[in-house]
Structure formats: C-alpha cells, structure tokens
Amino acid sequence: MNIAWFILITFVVVGVQAYIYHKWGLRRIEYTRSFSEKAVFEGEKVEMIDEISNKKLLPIPWLRLESKISAHLQFQKTSSTDNEVNSGDYHRTLFSLMPYQKVKRRQFLTCAKRGHYQFKTVSLSTGDAFGISERFTSVSSAAEIIVYPQLVPLENIPLPAHSWLGDIIVRRWIIEDPFLTAGIRDYAYGDPLNSVNWKATARTNRLQVSKKDYSADHHLMIYINFNQTEDFRIPIIDESLMEQAISYAASIAQYAVANGIATGFGCNAYFDEMDKKPIRIEPENSKQQLTYLFETLAKVKIGTSTFFEFFLQEDVDSHIQGTDILIITAIITDGMREIIKKLEAHGNSVEVLPLQSEILLKKANEKVG
C-alpha cells in the first residue's frame, strides 16, 4: 500500500510540475543579442553577447536557444562552449536559470566573409526537469553586424602602369582655395591686407597672415563592372573575382580619402533581390564618407542589375566633367570603349583596372573550342 501511494504521489508531482512548466516556463523570459562592434573588417573577430533573464520565482532547469547564423560567422572553439552546438547555419546553446537570474554569455566569432548579417528572431524552448513537457516560442532579437571587405596594400593591386592614382595627390595641390584655411604664417611682402590674421598678430606680436589650403576640381569615382560576359543576363561565373574587385575598391577608396580626395562609388550590382537597382554614391571627402563606402561595399550583392554600358551611359547623359574614373572590370566591350571616349571628350580621366580570372579564361577557351 505504501508503495502504491508513493507511485501515485510521484505521478501527481511529475504531472503537476510538467503542467506548471508547460504553462509558465516561458513566461517573463527576456532575451537580447548584441555585438561588441557595429562593424569589423573581413577576417577580424567580434564578440557576440547573448543575455537572457528569468524574471520570475520559478527556476528553469533547462532552456534551449536556437538561431540561424551564417556559416561565414565562425564560432571560436573554447572549453566553455561544451553546451553549444553549431550545425551549418544554425547555432544552439543551452541555459539553466535560477529564479530572477540573468545570464550573459559571450562568444567570439571570426567574420570570414564580407557581408551584412542581420538577426531578427531566435527560438526558445524549455520544459520540465523530466522531459515530459516542452514548449517553444520565438522572440525578437534585432541585432546586426557589418563585415567590411578585406583591405589589401595598394602595391598588391594591379593598377595600370601609368596610373594617375600616385600623382593625384600632387595634382590636387594646384589651385588655392580662399575658403580653406591651413594655418597661419609670417607676413611676406605682397600679401594682401585682407589676409592678415589680427588675432594671431596680437598673440605673437608679429604680423601674421592666414595660410590658404589648396584644392582641385577633380574628384574620384570608383566603378565595378559586375558583367563577366557580354550578356548581363548570364549569372556571375566567378564570384571570388567580384569579391576581389570589391576588396580592391575598398582599398583604393581608403587610400584616396586618407589623402584628401573626394571619392565616390558606383556599380551595376544591387542591394535588394526584389528591387535590383544600380548603386551610385556621389564623391565626398570625409571620414563619414569612407564609412558609408565601406558599408555599401559590405552590403553589395554578387549579381547584376543592368548592363555596364547602360550604367556608364548615364554619366554621359548627365554631362559629368572633371572626374577621375577608375573602372574595375573583367571585360572591355566595344560599347564600353566608345562610352569611355565620350567621357574623356567631356574632360574626364578614365582608367581601367583589369581583373584576371582563370575560370573565365577557361570558359572562353571552351567556347572557342
């Protein structure tokens, strides 16, 4: 009789706790995800922070978190992650929470590929200690990390032999700009009186004039041609080649902006699969512009929105002048050559950075054969 009562009571207790956890196990569970940095460069590490709170008296014996994470965000293997499983694009981790306990788990990820990685929801599941009852829910976990393209030294980029990139720094110091002040200097014979800096003169007890900075009318536009054949409807054949082109563009932009050159970017790729529009960023010279260029290059999809000849023709139609244009491309068509001539006739300087691909060369040879 005592054994029967023991068995009955055990079943009742197990059933009651299973009911309790099924009904209240996920109540007042709060979860957030964040990253230690907003953006990093390809190959760098970033810390992902999962924070989960149990804001009730009921302890949680186990709580499983499942989320979709790109395989390009690679988890660092450590002894503290024994309760975590990574499978393809999914990451699973297990928590145990006491009443009113908050757990913060930090994990390092290696960002192996350029991109814009967004996290919208995660799946939470919990149950009773005996595994009889289990309940699931999805919670919002808005977080993102931007991975900039990998930068390469300028000397490793196959720029044209007579490229103006090395000389553009010198060329821009030609025209004195009365609106830019680079400092003060001692007065010299012939300096106009309206250039005298009276505050500096009073401070130094010597006649001082404002020293003007210099600027140039030219600015730089970096273009990437995502067409790898003369038929833009054909999908990208060599994706790694376009990743290399994006890396080149980011590196050149970094060099140009660091040297005071107003820099912009354009390409015949797109951001959104549902709304494929070519990308254009007007040239500016600022730290914010460089960040904007890096973010744009991180988010560009590998694909084509239009034929590159149509993209270039827009510059001809808009009558742009005084612009240095660098085209990074794997092909040069007759149509592109004609448009480049028109751009140069309008006072623009156009150079081509050719991309070499063994895959494209092999495809071309197979077509000829």
Q: Which tokens hold the place of 116?
A: 């814009």
* Beta carbons within 8 Å of 259's beta carbon, 6+ residues apart: 168, 169
Enumerate residues 6+ apart whose C-beta is below 8 A from 67. Answer: 33, 90, 91, 119, 121, 122, 123, 141
The CA distance from 241 to 302, in Å, is 10
**How far apart (Å, rounded) are the C-alpha atoms in residues 105 and 34?**
11
**Inter-residue contact 143 to 178 (CB < 8 Å):** no
Do 262 and 219 contact (CB within 8 A), yes or no?
A: yes
Structural contact between residues 248 and 291, judged by C-beta atoms closer than 8 angstroms: no
- Minimal CA–CA distance to 194: which of 181, 210, 217, 183? 210
Residue with tokens 């210099």: 214
Per-residue pLDDT of the chain (369 residues; tens, 9 = 90+): 578 776 777 777 777 777 777 788 889 999 999 999 999 999 999 999 999 999 999 999 999 999 989 989 998 765 444 456 665 577 888 899 999 999 999 999 999 999 999 998 899 999 877 777 788 888 888 899 999 999 999 889 988 765 666 555 444 433 344 444 556 777 665 566 667 777 777 777 777 777 654 444 568 999 999 999 887 777 888 999 999 999 999 999 999 998 888 999 999 999 988 888 999 999 998 999 999 999 999 999 999 999 999 999 999 999 998 899 999 999 999 999 999 999 999 889 899 999 987 776 666 555 555
Single-letter amino acid code for the residue at 254: Q
Task: Classify residue 163 by burial, with Cβ atoms within 10 Å: 0-12, 13-18, 19+.
Answer: middle
**Sequence-separated (6 or more) residues with CB below 8 Å from residue 17:** 128, 129, 130
3-state secondary structure (DSSP) of residue 173: coil
Q: Are 57 and 27 in contact (CB under 8 A)?
A: no
- Do residues 302 and 243 make contact, with C-beta atoms less than 8 angstroms apart? yes
Q: Cα separation of 61 and 110, whole Å?
A: 31
Asked if 132 and 27 touch (Cβ cutoff 8 Å), the reply is: no
- Sketch out the chain's domains with CATH numbers: 28-148 (2.60.40.1530), 154-171+217-368 (3.40.50), 177-215 (no CATH)
Strand partners, 327: 223, 352
Q: What CA–CA distance (Å, rounded) separates 327 from 91? A: 40
> How distant, in Å, are the alpha carbons of 179, 250, 266, 267 from that of 326?
29, 13, 10, 11
